[in-house]
Amino acid sequence: MESGGRRGLVSAGGPVSATPMLRQDSGTGAEARVRGPGAVRARRFLLCLYLVGFLDLFGVSMVIPLLSLHVKSLGASPTVAGIVGSSYGILQLFSSTLVGCWSDVVGRRSSLLVCILFSALGYLILGASTNVFLFALARVPVGIFKHTLSISRALLSDLVAEKERPLVIGQFNAASSVGFILGPMVGGYLTELDGGFYLTAFICFSVFILNAGLVWLFPWCEAKLSSAEKGLPAREDSAPWGRTDGHGQATATPRRSTASARPARPPWLEVASTLRDMKSLVFSEMWDIFAVRLLMAVAVMLYYSNFVLALEERFGVRPRAAGYLISYSGALGALAGPALGPLLRLYGHDGRAILLHSSALTCLLLVLHAAARSVAVAVLCSSLLAVSTAVGRTCITDLQLAAGGARASGAVIGVGQSVTAVGRIIAPLLSGLAQEVSPCGPPSLGAALALVAIFLMSLNRARYGGDGGGGGGGSDKLKRA
């Protein structure tokens, strides 16, 4: 067995939905199935990551619905409240790529701990905010460091086999979505108590501290031992697990020899180098993938931007019933994660084809929702949209990672998050303009944008065909960074 081979998680002698395991390298490219204690260790590591995703969104979703009410109670005008609210998206826009690159350099464990602890600090300040200044100050560390989910997805990409990556990321998204469903229920109950907002913010802070402790106690050493049992030496360079963790996925042989031939550089120089290569890669190799991500993100955001208002104006549905429908849709989206296993087998692990078809379904459902004449049709479209968008998000992330390569998975996911942040800035403006025309305007405009995304994917289908979404054409550039 060659020491420079890749390794990750594969299923233990079964289909892709079986228990994942650390995979062995094979000179012929075939994946060796490994049975035994390694399967238990691999599964435990994945379950820990799923729990991190659940706790992250559980804590955040307790507070998010209460922010606008709290800042208003502090005496902020609608304009000031809007500026403070948009500061989070703006900070995320610039910090996502930077933090992603940083996690590639210093390691996933260190970056996860730092991001979780600084986010906890932000929610602690939020729980003590008795004026608008403290409220705005609390959003700064959260806006810069709230990247737990992105780093966790990058860590999953480091660990899993390419064919299993969509399934494992889908399961991670499902676990996170469950937290987002339960959080608002707990937060809504707590806010009715005396000092409810401050209590909710402190509980959110406690959840993040618990998450940091969980990451600290992760069985990192067991993941290293699983590699050692199979004769796979731990890496000594900085990515993707980093200097702190001392184990992880090996990259190509040229990268290893280059890294060993040159002296170690300071982390900030490594980050700057990765950012330079990432810039050229985005504009030359991956522009269409990120364009599709932006178009589909804005399309879905337009649909949700006036969802409650449109249901009330078109069908007389009360906001409370609309809220129940949103929770129901969120539950369906969470269930879409485990359903990716059979879907992947049906498509022969062709992530690009799944993305194309899920985007086409999303476009069709947006058209049907805009043209719906009854509540039943609107509910049906909402239900199916929850599934199609959940599948699409997972597949576009997998396609990014396949095209960008594992050397800088954190940077690739970070750029994707920055693109989504751009969508969050654009979508409210487009939604307002579309609502001037009709309550059906936002979903109609979203369908048009989704159609453009489908056209882009159809033009470039040859580039990203093949198993697991294909790609990898840009990874060599990042490996030479």
Domain regions of the chain by residue span: 40-227, 284-461
Q: What confidence category does residue 140 fall into, taking pLDDT thresholds of 50, 70 and 90?
A: very high
Please tell me the predicted confidence (pLDDT) of residue 331.
85
The mean-pLDDT minimum among 203-207, 321-325, 359-363 falls in: 321-325
Q: Provide the terminal-to-terminal Cα distance of the chain, rounded to the nearest Å.
A: 26
- Asked if domains 40-227 and 284-461 share a fold, the reply is yes
pTM: 0.72
Which pLDDT belongs to residue 221?
65
Question: Residue 391: its pLDDT value, please?
Answer: 92
At the top level of CATH, which class does the domain 284-461 belong to? mainly alpha
> What's the pLDDT tens digit per position in 105-114?
888 889 999 9
Mean local confidence (pLDDT), 244-259: 38
Q: What is the mean pLDDT of the chain?
A: 76
Q: Where is pLDDT greater, at 237 or 288?
A: 288
State mean pLDDT over 124-135.
92
Higher pLDDT among residues 114 and 413, named by residue: 114
| Six-digit token string for 206 | 């406690």
pLDDT at 278: 62
Q: Are 249 and 7 in contact (CB under 8 A)?
A: yes
208 DSSP 8-state letter: H
For 23-58, what is the HEC assignment? CECCCCCCCECCCCHHHHHHHHHHHHHHHHHHHHHH
- Establish whether the linkage from the previous residue to 240 is cis, with ω within 30° of 0: yes
Torsion sign, CA atoms 421, 165, 273, 472: negative
Interval 50-71 mean pLDDT: 89
User: Residues of the chain with pLDDT > 70: what percent?
Assistant: 73
Share of the chain above pLDDT 90, in %: 27
The tally of CA atoms less than 13 A away on the side-chain side of residue 108 is 27
Bigger pLDDT: 389 vs 72: 389
- Segment 299-303 shows an average pLDDT of 91
Query: Regarding the domain with residue range 40-227, which homologous superfamily does it belong to in the CATH classification?
Result: MFS general substrate transporter like domains (1.20.1250.20)
Cα–Cα dist 118/148, whole Å:
11
d(CA 213, CA 308): 38
Q: For the segment 418-439, what is each residue's pLDDT rounded down to a tens digit?
A: 888 888 888 888 888 888 888 8
- Cα(84)–Cα(133) distance, rounded to whole angstroms? 10
Does position 7 have pLDDT exceeding 80, yes or no? no
What's the whole-number mean pLDDT along residues 204-210?
A: 96
Contact 398, 468 (CB under 8 A): yes
Confidence class for position 1, pLDDT limits 50, 70, 90:
very low
User: Helix axis angle, 267-284 relative to 409-437, nearest 10°?
Assistant: 50
